[in-house]
Each structure stands twice: as C-alpha cells, then as structure tokens.
Amino acid sequence: MSVTGPAGFRAAGVAAGIKAAGARDLALVVNDGPQQSAAGVFTTNKVKAAPVLWSQQVLQERKLRAIVLNSGCANACTGPGGFQDTHATAEKVADVLGVGAIEIAVCSTGLIGERLPMDALLPGVDSAAKALDTGEQAALDAATAVLTTDSKAKQAHRAHDGGWSIGGFAKGAGMLAPNMATMLSVITTDVAISGADLDEALRAATRVTFDRLDVDGGTSTNDTVLVMASGASGVEASKDEFTALLTEVCHDLVRQLQDDAEGATKTIDITVRGAVSEADAVTIGRIVAEDNLVKTAMFGSDPNWGRIAMALGRAQAEIDVDKVEIATNGVTLYADGATARDRSEADLSGRQIEIVIDLHLGEHTATILSTDLSHDYVEENSAYSS
Amino acid sequence: MSVTGPAGFRAAGVAAGIKAAGARDLALVVNDGPQQSAAGVFTTNKVKAAPVLWSQQVLQERKLRAIVLNSGCANACTGPGGFQDTHATAEKVADVLGVGAIEIAVCSTGLIGERLPMDALLPGVDSAAKALDTGEQAALDAATAVLTTDSKAKQAHRAHDGGWSIGGFAKGAGMLAPNMATMLSVITTDVAISGADLDEALRAATRVTFDRLDVDGGTSTNDTVLVMASGASGVEASKDEFTALLTEVCHDLVRQLQDDAEGATKTIDITVRGAVSEADAVTIGRIVAEDNLVKTAMFGSDPNWGRIAMALGRAQAEIDVDKVEIATNGVTLYADGATARDRSEADLSGRQIEIVIDLHLGEHTATILSTDLSHDYVEENSAYSS
C-alpha cells in the first residue's frame, strides 16, 4: 500500500509507449480532496530538468490536484521545446480532470538530453485517467511506472492511531545523492493540513532522510519529492506528530532506495558522532560515502580503515586526528592516533556494514546511507546509456 | 634519466625487506652540492603521515642533503611511535652521510595504519648508501623502489640550453588526487637557486600539474613533492625560465601517473573554458573528473554528455546552463540549452578522450587530467589492501 492508502487519492500506472518493450511508463496520482494542500522539494543541481522548473513554479501556490510522472525520458537539457512538452503534459492532465494546469505537477526520469515522445505520452494520459483507482493495485502500478534501473517498486505506508495515514512511493537506483530530494517520490496523506505546514514538515523530514542518502554523489537534474494532503480524514494532526510520521515514511522509502541501488552488494551506514555541528557530521559522512577506495574496500569485505581515515581527512570540517575513532561493524580499529585492534577482527562479510566515526569534539551526529562500488555498478553504468 | 641527470646528485634503490618478495622498497637521493637548496609541497589532507609531518618541519630551513623514501608502508595513522620511526630513519641516513638529521627528508608510501619494520629499514639505509651512484641505472633503481601498485617507473628529464637541467621521478597509481602534491615525487636540478626561489617555482609548477591530476578524488595522507638544487652547473637561471622547465618536468611526470593509474583503460582530459575564474574552472573540471557516472560512461566509450551536464550542475561555481557547451573528442554535443549533435557522432573508442566544457562566461581555463572507472579499478581496490 502506498499513495492510495490515505483517503482521498486515486492512482494509475500505464504503458504509454515512452519506454520500449511495453513497460509501464506513465503514472498519475490524483488528490480528490476536500483539501488540495501540497509541497515539494527539488534538486539543488544547477542543471534542472523542464519538469522541475515547471513543478517549482506551480508549487508556489502550495496546491495540487494531481501529479503526472513518466519514466523513459528525463526531459532535461532539452531547451524551450522541452519546457513546452512539460507544459503540454500538464495542460492535457488538467483538461482530462477538468481543472487548471497550474494545479498539476510534472515529474520525469530517464535519459538526459532526449525529447519526450509526446505522441505517445498524451494518449497515455487518457489511458491513465481511465485507469485511476483507489485500490492497492493502482498504487503499485503507479510506483512501477516510474522505475528506471530499479529492480522493484518502493512503497511505504504508515497509519496513525488518530485515524489518518501517510503513504508514498519513490524511485531511484543510480545518480543517487539527493540534496533536498531524491530522484522521484510522491507522498500522500489524508490529514487536514495547510500547504505552509506541509512544506515545513516535508523539509524537516527530507533533511534527515532523502538528503542523507548518497550512493554515488550524483545529485540528478530531476530529483523531486512531492507531498499532497487531501484532508479526507477530517483530522488535524499536531505538526510534530505529522512530521514524525512523515519522516518515518521517508526513511522507509530511502532504505528501499539504498537497498536496491545499482550494483549494490552492501548497504553501508556511515554514522559520524561527536561533531561540532550537524553540517560537519554530514560533510564527513558524505565524503566517506563517496570515496571510491572506501567503496571498493567494502565491496571486498575489507575493513581497510586507513582509507576511511584518508577520506575523512579530506573533509572541510573540524577534525582532530588524534581524537578520531573509527569502528566497523562494532569493532574499533583506530583510536588515539594509531591502530586500536587488528582489522581482521572486524567481519564485513555480510550485506550490512556499519561504519562509526566518533570525532570526540562535540555533540552532533548524522548517518549517511550508502552502498559499495561493485563490478555490477561499473557494468550497469558503462554498458547502457541511462 | 631522472634525478641523476642534473650534476651533483647520487641515487640508489635497494630491497630492504619492507615489501615481501624481495622487491626494491628503499630509495635514497643525495645532493652533493655545492648548494643544498630545497623546497617541498605536501598533502592538504588533515590526516598526515608521520614522514609528512617530519619533512614539513625540516623543509622550513629550505635545505636538504638527502631524501630517503620507502614503499610497502605509509607510516600513516601510526601515532607517536610512527613519528619516532621516521625520526630514527632520518637519524640513520644523517649518520651514514655524516650530516645532521635536520637535513634529511623522509617519504613513505604503502598501507595506512601499519608500523614500519625498522629492523629491515635501518640496515637497508646502509645498503642504499653503499649503492649510491650518479648513473642512470641508480636513478631508475630509486624510481623503482618507491612504486606500489604502479606498473612501471615514472621518470622525466629536461636539459636547458644554458647548461643546466631538471630531472625527477614520481609514483602513484591510486588514492590519486593530489592537492599541492602527488603521492611521492622527487625532483633535482643543478641550477644555482635560493631555497625561497625554489619554493616559489615549485608551488607555481605543481599548481598547474600535480594539482590538476584527479584519478579518484583520493588526496592521500602521504602526498609529497620535493625538489633539491645542487648549484653544480654554476648557472643561475632566470626565475621564469626555471619555473617553465620545472613545470614541463612536472607535467611529464603527471602524464605518466595519469596513464598508469589503477585500472585505467582511458585517459580523460577535461578542459573547462570560459570560466569567470581559474578556481571555477578547476572546481568544475574536478567534479566531472570524480563523477562515477561520467567515469563509467567513458569506460563504456559512451559519449553520454547528460552525465557531464549533471555533474557540472553540482559544482559550486558560476554556471549559466543555457550558455554551456559540451564537446567530446571534438564533437559539440550540447549547446544553447539542448542537444547540438547526436552523440553517436562522437567516437570515444580510443584510449584518449578529451572533454571540453565551454561556460562562455569569462576568460579562464583549466584542464584536469583523469581516467575512467573500470572493472580493473574495482578489482584492484577490492581484492587487495593497499
């Protein structure tokens, strides 16, 4: 269950013919209200795809009736023509639903630099509108239609005792280091909440979830997380409760993205403790997460902590080398400026690896979720254009 | 010919037993004067190996009688004991040469976190001192003794019409993104020059050579470039002429490092033009050089410029997306905010790939030298601790 879990939403995912081979490639998620609050966070990349530029504009009203998403083409680096394609997509959805285009967000994912096949996409919107449904299958179809190199759909749902819930789906397997958003994610809730509060909650939740995922440093041109609230439960949750549950849903989705990342044979959680600021903890966690020598060592199940020390030493952050402690899977290997225990004592043979770096300088902590660098990653990203 | 090319220098490279299998692992380069000017640039990594801390200290006098280098052990993250090992190494060399330890620089490269086997290293210094010679073979032995995962020695030599020359060797194949220095490099000259002028020339030369090499983003704990001037030619060159020739030697060495980088099947030169500052050009070049999706696309000979656009959009630099032009091997693929020519027109099947990014914003240019990300890179860095 995902986006149709909360009351007030319908979804669909169809094969419009954007992708070859008849796979589902067009998704539609509609908010039937009574409210239409919405918020979004978008890529920090300076190169922004046309649908990002469009959706940022329409989100200024903090109101959405529907989100249309396609896979198979990112519609990025496509110039004014590409922006017109996004606009035409929104107009088509608005027309079919009898609303204004300003209430329609658009998301695209796939190859950069190619134009959308509008002659396939526009009829696909009609098919998707006809398929709209409140059931679980419709949500799964939508979550499936946005996939690219993902091996499976990523969905999450959490119900609150107070009679409301939050659901969502996400996609993304490569070019995956979201900053204020991941590749694409749609989240729905039936709580009654204003657009401003929704925006605040979304930023708080993504800051500690999507923004902490770093598979390959590749903040994409299309990263987008959108949330829509229908108010259909009639319940107004407290801001704290809503933010907490939203964070849980985001975290669930991010874990699924981490686990299904391109070529990953290990999921690596890098926790930085004792930092003078959260920003420092994140900076250090990311530089270790993105370091190819650390990533290949982890692929080889080798607790080569010297590479972790090298990587963190490159960070623009406050570090006292003699105070740093490095542990892998619970075994402290480096402390007091020298080897603590022999690395043969740390067993990294399993899929899950935990790296803990304690700076012993302050009270701040952050965990970055990452993966290893494997032959499959190289194969997948050298053999195919994606 | 390399460090013994200029007059006034002797070199040696011997097998001291630091590495297994009897490979050469200890090098000695001695400046017999009459002058002993010297300068050095060192890693910007906050985690600095003991020999870096030592050599930075002794270089404050801008005078060196000799440099001792070992492979097989980086002597990094080894605490006070590791620093004492470096000190004892310098004392031993000073003793054998009849000079002061303050005139001896020490360099180490190899695995981080292991202590030096001093019972092998110290007798090795005696053997090296006995083997000191002014010939080409001695220089090659020294250049060979510093290698780790390198497949071959890297040497360079340039003679000036005015009767003086510059020679040098370098090593480094992974953890290779020097910043103010590469893994290890020793350069000699017989020009008569002060330590202060030598320092200035070295910084100018490395800024546009060693600092422009970025194989895997891994600025190491041991990066060091040292230069010694003997004055044995009796010639005082102009500062400009000396800096120009020194830059040529450094560039020659860096090209060899790039070409022999771990697992490289492609050498990739990324030129950024039209930047508002040189710093911006370097920042953009480096972020493209370090991007795994760009690197794997290059491994696959795929001119997937969308990944280049994504990578440069992440840079903390001034960019106007609609003005950017991206060309690979002479074919402009992206311009005016959209696809310019079909990427099938760019042939990347050869070993050498040139990426040119023109920002069309200013007059500044920089070229970053990099390599692709191949199966061999993953294999080499996951199968062995190095």
Domain assignment of residue A207, yes or no? yes
So what's the ipTM on this one? 0.82
Check which CATH number belongs to the domain holding A118 and give it: 3.60.70.12
Q: Are residues A101 and A17 in the same domain?
A: yes
For chain B, what's the residue count?
A: 386
Give me A3's structure tokens: 């986006």
Task: Find the helix or strand (DSSP H, E) in which A198 lies.
Answer: helix A195-207
Residues of chain B positioned with their CB less than 8 A from the CB of A47: 309-310, 312-313, 319, 321
Q: Among the three residues A195, A230, A259, which one is the final residue of a domain in this structure?
A: A259
| Residue appearing with tokens 């979201």 | A178
Q: Are residues B170 and B288 in the same domain?
A: no
Nearest to B221 among A47, A310, A343 (CB): A310
Q: What is the pLDDT of residues B58-94, one digit of tens each?
A: 999 999 999 999 999 999 889 999 999 999 999 999 9
Nearest to B77 among A79, A302, A338 (CB): A338
Check which CATH number belongs to the domain holding A335 and give it: 3.10.20.340
Residues of chain A positioned with their CB less than 8 A from the CB of B297: 381-382, 385
Residues of chain A positioned with their CB less than 8 A from the CB of B80: 337
Report the residue of A43, A44, A45, A47 to disrupt the B interface, i.e. the one with the largest count of B CBs within 10 Å.
A47
Q: Which range scores top for mean pLDDT: A160-164, A375-379, B28-32, B45-49?
A: B28-32
| Residue appearing with tokens 């199968």 | B383
Res A365: pLDDT: 95
Residues in a beta bridge with B186: B169, B226
Res B179: pLDDT: 54
Task: Report the percent of chain B where pLDDT is more than 90.
Answer: 66
For chain A, what's the residue count?
A: 386
Mean of pLDDT values over B117-133: 98
Catalytic residue among A89, A182, A247, A267: A182
How far apart (Å, rounded) are the C-alpha atoms in residues A381 and B359?
A: 26
3-state secondary structure of A103: helix
Evaluate if residue B385 carries a pLDDT over 80.
Answer: no
Mean of pLDDT values over B236-252: 92
Residues in chain A with pLDDT values less than 70? 175, 177-182, 384-386
A296 marked as part of a ligand binding site: no
Q: Are residues A310 and A363 in the same domain?
A: yes
Determine whether the interchain pair A339/B77 forms a contact, defined as Cβ–Cβ distance below 8 Å: yes
| Backbone angles phi and psi of A331, in degrees to 5 | -110, 120
Residue B317: closest C-alpha in chain A: A46
Check residue B213 and report its DSSP letter: B
Whether A67 and A226 have beta carbons less than 8 Å apart is answered as yes
CA torsion, ordered B50, B54, B55, B61, to nearest 10 deg: 170
How many domains does one find in chain B? 2
3-state secondary structure of B94: helix
Domain assignment of residue B3, yes or no? no
How far apart (Å, rounded) are the C-alpha atoms in residues B9 and A275?
A: 48
Domain assignment of residue B279, yes or no? yes
Mean of pLDDT values over B249-275: 91
Domain assignment of residue B1, yes or no? no
Determine whether the interchain pair A218/B337 forms a contact, defined as Cβ–Cβ distance below 8 Å: no
Q: Among the three residues A241, A259, A277, which one is the final residue of a domain in this structure?
A: A259
Residues of chain B positioned with their CB less than 8 A from the CB of A114: 339
CA distance A382 to chain B (A): 4
Determine whether the interchain pair B113/A382 forms a contact, defined as Cβ–Cβ distance below 8 Å: no
Amino acid at A287: I
Nearest to B79 among A78, A292, A336 (CB): A336
Residues of chain A positioned with their CB less than 8 A from the CB of B78: 337-339
Res B119: pLDDT: 97
Res A383: pLDDT: 76
Determine whether the interchain pair A382/B302 forms a contact, defined as Cβ–Cβ distance below 8 Å: yes
Evaluate if residue B233 carries a pLDDT over 50.
Answer: yes
Catalytic center residues of B: 182
A134 marked as part of a ligand binding site: no
Nearest to A385 among B304, B315, B337 (CB): B304
Res A181: pLDDT: 45
* Catalytic-residue membership of A182: yes
Determine whether the interchain pair B337/A296 forms a contact, defined as Cβ–Cβ distance below 8 Å: no
Nearest to A310 among B112, B300, B373 (CB): B112
Residue B318: closest C-alpha in chain A: A46
Domain assignment of residue B343, yes or no? yes
Q: Are residues B194 and B334 in the same domain?
A: no
- Could you list the residue range(s) of the whole structural domain that residue B307 is in? 267-383
Determine whether the interchain pair B221/A313 forms a contact, defined as Cβ–Cβ distance below 8 Å: yes
Residue B43: closest C-alpha in chain A: A314
Give me B211's structure tokens: 């600092």
B262 marked as part of a ligand binding site: yes
Q: Are residues B310 and B180 in the same domain?
A: no
Determine whether the interchain pair B373/A77 forms a contact, defined as Cβ–Cβ distance below 8 Å: no
B4 marked as part of a ligand binding site: no
Domain assignment of residue B159, yes or no? yes
Report the residue of B287, B314, B359 to disrupt the A interface, i.e. the one with the largest count of A CBs within 10 Å.
B314
Q: Are residues B138 and B44 in the same domain?
A: yes
Domain assignment of residue A323, yes or no? yes
Determine whether the interchain pair A293/B216 forms a contact, defined as Cβ–Cβ distance below 8 Å: yes
Q: Are residues B79 and B213 in the same domain?
A: yes
How far apart (Å, rounded) are the C-alpha atoms in residues A97 and A92?
A: 9
Residues of chain A positioned with their CB less than 8 A from the CB of B113: 305-306, 309, 333-334, 338-339, 343
Res B217: pLDDT: 78
Q: Are residues A127 and A80 in the same domain?
A: yes
Q: Are residues A41 and A187 in the same domain?
A: yes
Q: Are residues A40 and A175 in the same domain?
A: yes
Determine whether the interchain pair A378/B374 forms a contact, defined as Cβ–Cβ distance below 8 Å: yes
How far apart (Å, rounded) are the C-alpha atoms in residues A108 and A110?
A: 7
How far apart (Å, rounded) are the C-alpha atoms in residues A334 and B352?
A: 41
Res B180: pLDDT: 44
Distances (CA, A) of B50 to A28, B63, B86, B89, B222: 60, 20, 7, 11, 8
B219 marked as part of a ligand binding site: no
How far apart (Å, rounded) are the C-alpha atoms in residues B170 and B178?
A: 12
Q: Are residues A72 and A166 in the same domain?
A: yes
Q: Which region holds residue A327: left if phi is over 0, alpha if psi is between -120 and 50, else beta?
A: beta
CA distance A234 to chain B (A): 42
Q: Are residues B244 and B279 in the same domain?
A: no
Q: What is the pLDDT of residues A98-110, one digit of tens each?
A: 999 999 999 999 8
Mean residue pLDDT of chain B comes to 91
Domain assignment of residue A1, yes or no? no
Residues of chain B positioned with their CB less than 8 A from the CB of A374: 378
Whether B222 and B184 have beta carbons less than 8 Å apart is answered as yes
| Backbone angles phi and psi of A97, in degrees to 5 | -90, -5
Q: Among the three residues B212, B228, B259, which one is the final residue of a domain in this structure?
A: B259
